[in-house]
C-alpha cells in the first residue's frame, strides 16, 4: 500500500511540474502580439485611437496598429513651357517641359492615420536623401554687379534651389469629377498663354460654388511655428493662363514674405535683400523673432558695386561667400512668422532622418471653417497626394486615393 501511495504521489508531482513548466513557457512568450494591420495601395484606413500620439517626429508604437498606405508618387510629363519663367531667362527656357528637369522622378511613401472624437492624425514618410532648404538664396553676380536669386524654376539637374514640400487635396462636399480622378480634376493643361512668364497649366475648379481643401507643407516656410499652410481651391471664371483657383483660407495670414526690396544703387532701381543677419552662414530663412530682437538688420542702401549698408555695418560681396550656388554667406529669400486663424489649423513636426522625411501632423475633425473639409467618421473621402522634391511646381503625384475611418 505504501509503495502504491508513493508511486501515485510521484505521478502527481511529475504531472504538476510538467503543467507548471508549460505555464512558464507560455508566460515567457508574453501576450499574443496584435495582428498585423496590413497595408493597401489605394486606401488610407484611419485607425480609431483612444489617445493622441506624440507628434515629435518619432514613430510611436501605437502607429504600428494602423494600416499602412504604401505607394510611389511620380512627376508627370507636361508640355513645353512656351515662355520663360525665371527673370533672367527670356527666350532660353521655351523648349523645356513645364516640370523639367524633374519629369519622371519617383518617390516612395508610406502613410498612416488615426483619429479620436475631436482630432485626426497623420504620419507621412517618404524616401529623400536630401533635406532641401536652399530656397532661391540671394547671391552676388560680379559681372553685372547685381544681387540675384537662385532660380525658382530649375533649368537643369544642377539648378535646383528650392525646398521640399507635400500637398493633399480633399473635396469639400461635391466637386465635379473629383471622385473619379481626384487631384487631376483640378488640373487644367495646355492653356493659352496670355502673359509672359504665365504657366500653361493651372489648378482651379470649373463649377462656381465648389471648393477643395488643400494642405500644403513647405519645409522652409512652415518651419517657424511647425505649421502646414491651410489653403483652398475654388472656381476660376477665366480659362487661360491667368486663371487661378488657389488661395489661402479666407481668414488668417500666411507665414512668410519675400526677403526683398527695391533700392536705387545710384544708377537704377534694383532688387536687393530686405534683411541680413550679419556674419551668419548657411541660413535659409529669417524669422520674425530675428527681426523683432534686432538679430536681423534692415538693409537701407546699396551702391553701384553691390555693397549693402545696414545700421552698424555693410555687406561687401567682394569679400567672398556670396557666390552663386556655393557661397556660404548667401542670404535667405524669405522671412517667416506664424500662420494665423484659418491658415493655422494644421500643426506638424517634420524630421529629416538623413534618408527621408518623417512628418506627423494633426487637425481638428471639424474646424468650423467653411474652407476646410469636415471629417465625418461615417463617410469616405477621396484624396490626392503630391510630393515636391526640392521643387517649386514639379510635383510627383499619387491620385485616386481614398480615406476611410475604422469604426
Residues 172 and 305 in one domain: no
Number of domains in the chain: 2
Residues 368 and 276 in one domain: no
Boundaries of domain holding 347: 39-128+164-249+342-405
| Pair 100, 390: CB distance under 8 Å | no
Query: Mean of the per-residue pLDDT values for the chain?
Result: 92
Integer Cα distance of 315 and 301 in angstroms:
10
**Interval 35-77: pLDDT, tens:** 889 999 999 999 999 999 999 999 999 999 999 999 999 999 9
Query: CATH number of the domain that 356 lies in?
Result: 2.60.40.1190
Residue 292 three-state SS:
helix
Asked if residue 146 belongs to a domain, the reply is no
Residues 271 and 185 in one domain: no
Cell numbers linked to 383: 484624396
Residues 172 and 265 in one domain: no
Residues 271 and 315 in one domain: yes
Asked if residue 144 belongs to a domain, the reply is no
Residues 99 and 198 in one domain: yes
Q: What is the pTM of this model?
A: 0.90
Give the Cα-Cα-Cα angle 228, 129, 218 (nearest 5 degrees): 15
Residues 325 and 305 in one domain: yes
Domain endpoint, select from 334, 357, 389: 334
- The one-digit pLDDT tens for each residue of the chain (407 residues) are 434 334 334 433 334 333 334 433 333 344 666 688 999 999 999 999 999 999 999 999 999 999 999 999 999 999 999 999 998 888 777 889 999 999 999 999 999 999 999 999 999 999 999 999 999 999 999 999 999 999 999 999 999 999 999 999 999 999 999 999 999 999 999 999 999 899 999 999 999 999 999 999 999 999 999 999 999 999 998 889 999 999 999 999 999 999 999 999 999 999 999 999 999 999 999 999 999 999 999 999 999 999 999 999 999 999 999 999 999 999 999 999 999 999 999 999 999 999 999 999 999 999 999 999 999 999 999 999 999 999 999 999 999 999 999 99
Residue with cell 490626392: 384
Asked if residue 34 belongs to a domain, the reply is no
Cell numbers linked to 328: 556660404
- Taking 3-state DSSP, the helix, strand and coil percentages for the chain, each rounded to the nearest 5, stand at 15, 35, 50
Cell numbers linked to 223: 518651419
Residue 282 has, within 13 A of its CA and on its CB side, a CA count of 1
pLDDT score, position 238: 83
Domain endpoint, select from 334, 355, 385: 334
Question: Cis (ω within 30 of 0) for the bond into 101?
Answer: yes
Asked if residue 140 belongs to a domain, the reply is no
Asked if residue 58 belongs to a domain, the reply is yes
Residues 330 and 373 in one domain: no
Residues 57 and 86 in one domain: yes
Integer Cα distance of 128 and 379 in angstroms:
33
Residues 376 and 227 in one domain: yes
Integer Cα distance of 306 and 327 in angstroms:
16
Integer Cα distance of 294 and 311 in angstroms:
10
**Closest by Cα among 365, 372, 401 to 386:** 401
Residues 244 and 393 in one domain: yes
Asked if residue 290 belongs to a domain, the reply is yes
Asked if residue 26 belongs to a domain, the reply is no
Asked if residue 7 belongs to a domain, the reply is no
Residues 299 and 226 in one domain: no
Domain endpoint, select from 314, 334, 354: 334
Amino acid at each position: 500500500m505504501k509503495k502504491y501511495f508513493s508511486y501515485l504521489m510521484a505521478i502527481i508531482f511529475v504531472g504538476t511540474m510538467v503543467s507548471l513548466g508549460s505555464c512558464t513557457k507560455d508566460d515567457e512568450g508574453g501576450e499574443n502580439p496584435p495582428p498585423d494591420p496590413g497595408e493597401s495601395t489605394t486606401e488610407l484606413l484611419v485607425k480609431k485611437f483612444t489617445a493622441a500620439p506624440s507628434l515629435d517626429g518619432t514613430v510611436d508604437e501605437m502607429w504600428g496598429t494602423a494600416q499602412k498606405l504604401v505607394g510611389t508618387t511620380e512627376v508627370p510629363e507636361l508640355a513645353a513651357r512656351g515662355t520663360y519663367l525665371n527673370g533672367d531667362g527670356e527666350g532660353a527656357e521655351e523648349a523645356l517641359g513645364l516640370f523639367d528637369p524633374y519629369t519622371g522622378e519617383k518617390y516612395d511613401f508610406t502613410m498612416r492615420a488615426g483619429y479620436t472624437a475631436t482630432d485626426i492624425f497623420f504620419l507621412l514618410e517618404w524616401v529623400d536623401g536630401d533635406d532641401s532648404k536652399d530656397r532661391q538664396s540671394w547671391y552676388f553676380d560680379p559681372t553685372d554687379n547685381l544681387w540675384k536669386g537662385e532660380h525658382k524654376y530649375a533649368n537643369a539637374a544642377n539648378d535646383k534651389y528650392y525646398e521640399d514640400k507635400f500637398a493633399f487635396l480633399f473635396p469639400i462636399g461635391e466637386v465635379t469629377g473629383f471622385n473619379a480622378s481626384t487631384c487631376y480634376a483640378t488640373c487644367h493643361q495646355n492653356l493659352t498663354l496670355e502673359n509672359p512668364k504665365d504657366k500653361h497649366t493651372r489648378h482651379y475648379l470649373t463649377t462656381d460654388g465648389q471648393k477643395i481643401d488643400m494642405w500644403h507643407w513647405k519645409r522652409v516656410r512652415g518651419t517657424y511655428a511647425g505649421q502646414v499652410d491651410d489653403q483652398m481651391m475654388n472656381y476660376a471664371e477665366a480659362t487661360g493662363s491667368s486663371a487661378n483657383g488657389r488661395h489661402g483660407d479666407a481668414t488668417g495670414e500666411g507665414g512668410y514674405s519675400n526677403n526683398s526690396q527695391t533700392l536705387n544703387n545710384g544708377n537704377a532701381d534694383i532688387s536687393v535683400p530686405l534683411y541680413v543677419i550679419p556674419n551668419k552662414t548657411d541660413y535659409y530663412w529669417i524669422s520674425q523673432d530675428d527681426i523683432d530682437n534686432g538679430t536681423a538688420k534692415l538693409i537701407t542702401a546699396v551702391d553701384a558695386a553691390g555693397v549693402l549698408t545696414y545700421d552698424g555695418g555693410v555687406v561687401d560681396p567682394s569679400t567672398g561667400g556670396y557666390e552663386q550656388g556655393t557661397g556660404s554667406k548667401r542670404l535667405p529669400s524669405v522671412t517667416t512668422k506664424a500662420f494665423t486663424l484659418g491658415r493655422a489649423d494644421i500643426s506638424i513636426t517634420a524630421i529629416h532622418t538623413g534618408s527621408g522625411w518623417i512628418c506627423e501632423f494633426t487637425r481638428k475633425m471639424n474646424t468650423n471653417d467653411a474652407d476646410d473639409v469636415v471629417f465625418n467618421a461615417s463617410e469616405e473621402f477621396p484624396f490626392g497626394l503630391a510630393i515636391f522634391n526640392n521643387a517649386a511646381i514639379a510635383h510627383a503625384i499619387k491620385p485616386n486615393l481614398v480615406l476611410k475611418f475604422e469604426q
